[in-house]
Amino acid sequence: MQFRFENLDESTRRYMAQELSRDLVYGTLYLSPRLTEEGRAVYPALLEEALRWHGPHWLADALRYADYLQPYEERRMGDEAIQTRVPVTAAEMLATDEFNRYYMRGVCLRALAEGSGVVEVYRGRDSAEPRPASQALVGQRLSAAALLEDLRGWPDQAPVLGLPTGYNSGLSIRLPGLT
């Protein structure tokens, strides 16, 4: 299902790239354990290109077609560790989640720079069975500064404001009145 990024334009993309640069400087770029060693090496450049010029589908294709994802991962079943296949949707989930996270960070920076300081939660991807926590957030207006700080800590820290609501979340944010 296609994700709608309502404020994805040149201005937002600049802020997204700025946030990626920040993560690279501070060493806080999320590198999925599903990435291969080669995938980890090229991921920052692929992500930057996706943020500046493309989108999550381009990033997912780049990860998948170059075999930058591990074919197997270890899972715990009680006391036992077993090898399971990485889901076929892993590239799409990683690309969409990370693109959306940088998009939201970019929208937050833009809201702060343009003076409103407020963002609005919306459903960026339709869901047949949306999470109740997600539904409760749709339409809420949040402080862009508080959300930005929250997003900078994800996925290492649980989000205080509830965004994202988890991996593969269909929620995003927009500038109120600019849709």
Cis previous bond, 87, omega within 30: no
Question: Which pLDDT tens digit goes with each residue over 83-114?
Answer: 999 999 999 999 999 999 999 999 999 999 99
Query: Mean per-residue pLDDT for 118-136?
Result: 86
Query: How many CB atoms neighbour CB 75 within 10 A?
Result: 10
Closest CA to 33 of 167, 179, 127: 167
CB 103 within 8 A of CB 121: no
CB 20 within 8 A of CB 12: no
Range with the poorest average pLDDT among 16-30, 48-62, 134-148, 153-167 = 153-167
pTM: 0.92
Provide the residue ranges of all domains of the chain, joining segments of one domain with +: 10-174
**Residue 41 one-letter amino acid:** A
Cis previous bond, 164, omega within 30: yes
Structural Rg of the chain based on CA atoms: 16
